[in-house]
Amino acid sequence: MSHSINGHFTPISLLKFAAPSIIMMMFMSLYTIIDGIFISRFVGSNALSSLNIVYPIINIVFAIGTMLGTGGNAIISRYMGEGKNKTAKECMTQFVVIGLIISVIILVLTRLNLSSISRILGASDLLLADCNSYLAMVISFAPAAMLQCLFQSYFVTAGRPNLGLFLTMIAGILNAVLDYVFIVVCQMGISGAGLATGIGQMVPAVSGLVFFAFSKGSLHFTRLSLHLKEFMQACYNGSSEMISQLSNAIITFLFNIVMMRLAGEHGVAAITILLYGQFLFNAFYLGFSIGISPIVGFQYGAGNKKELKNIHKISFLFVGISSILLTIAAITLSTPIVTIFTHDAETFRLAAPGFRIFAVNFLFSGLNITSSGFFTALSNGLVSAIISFCRTLVFIVLCLLILPSFLDLNGAWIAIPVAEFLTLILSAAMHIRYFFRPGKQNYL
């Protein structure tokens, strides 16, 4: 495994190494998107709005799992780079156990307070029943969702990214098939979508438990040993990635409130479609960050600045060029993309022009996500958290609260592009300070 992340990387070899993580994250995002397509087409736009209203709770599980996965990965890979394999295994075991405990707590608290949570998140009387049905079903699989997030990172560090990719693809295909069976054939409605998603998440979760329990490689489960310092470091290092994931919950919640006020249930359905596009796009770059994180962490632990500089250059050239191409594609294909999700005339009228404006944010968000992930891999949780915190809990919140008041719907559409652009300025300043300006702070 060490050989796979300890060597010189070319653009092709780096992308090849990161590709499984990219595809894994995109398949994970497709779980919710596929649910949305089936719900919108076979249950209705109101059911699609219901899914979007309760999704912030589900996203909390993903956020914590991503924090322990990416933040923990930086610690695990660093210890392996330093030759401390025993400590690396103990840390991974601890992160998995803690993640499971947290997911069970979220499951219990949510099931006990379904209606109250749905109301707080903005459910109207018309949407409450569907909100409760979907949330009750999908949150029941919170432990599986947590394990899936953790293992998608740890498979890469264990030198088995292709195994993680294979399991995630199988889970995604199974989810799509079961969506059809439960929603179309069995007529289970929105709860059928939640059940399909949960069963799909069980595939990588159970397989990961078996793999790390019986693996003979350099990374596997060992006797539980508490490393509280490393746990706090994992939370600190991964806080930016957690914030990136929580941003989906925060953005969704705020958009639901704003769109319900401006355009009612059809407005919520329209913004759901736009956020699906962002969800998939951001998953691409979050997967890329996860994929390169073990390499960056290993080379940082080994003190190889020359290779760190090479990885940094390749990474951001790739992200910059691909962001431009994907933004052009998103704007050009906005109408057929929206059509995939809905044939409802009112929802389409709102979503189609909104998507063309909204897609401009793709120019900037990939660079911001990768910047935050790079600092996480370097165990600089502070800078990483500053970028993510400003991107989500400062800039986007301010834009969503201010711009729609002056520009109505157009203000809602441009809120995220403006916030991402402001974050890009901040990310550039951090790159100058830590990667280009000479001095002790320069990692390269």
Reading the chain (444 residues) residue by residue, the pLDDT tens digits are 444 666 677 888 888 888 878 887 787 777 778 777 888 888 887 888 888 888 888 888 988 998 888 888 878 888 887 777 888 888 888 999 999 999 999 999 999 999 999 998 888 788 888 899 999 999 999 999 999 988 888 887 787 877 877 888 888 889 889 999 999 999 898 899 889 989 999 999 999 899 888 877 777 788 877 788 888 888 887 776 677 677 777 777 888 888 888 887 788 888 888 888 887 888 888 888 888 888 887 777 777 788 888 888 999 999 999 999 999 998 998 888 888 877 778 888 888 888 899 899 999 999 999 998 888 888 787 888 888 888 877 898 899 889 988 888 888 889 989 999 999 999 999 989 888 887 777 776
Residue 103 resides in a domain: yes
Q: Report if residue 343 sits inside a domain.
A: yes
Q: Whole-model pTM?
A: 0.72
The verdict on residue 148 lying in a domain is: yes
- Asked, for residue 444, whether it belongs to a domain, the answer is no
Predicted pLDDT at 6: 66
Domain residues for 88? 4-436
Is residue 101 exposed (0-12), middle (13-18) or buried (19+ Cβ within 10 Å)?
exposed
**What are φ and ψ of residue 215, in 5° steps?**
-65, 145
pLDDT reported for residue 1: 41
Residue whose token pair is 């719900």: 39
Q: Is residue 441 part of a domain?
A: no
| Alpha carbon separation from 52 to 132, 145, 398, 400 (Å, rounded) | 12, 18, 21, 17
Specify if 231 maps to a domain.
yes
CA distance 92 to 103: 17
Q: Which amino acid is at 117?
A: I
The continuous run of DSSP H or E covering 355 comes out as helix 345-358
The reply to whether 443 falls in a domain is: no
Q: Per the structure, how many domains does the chain have?
A: 1
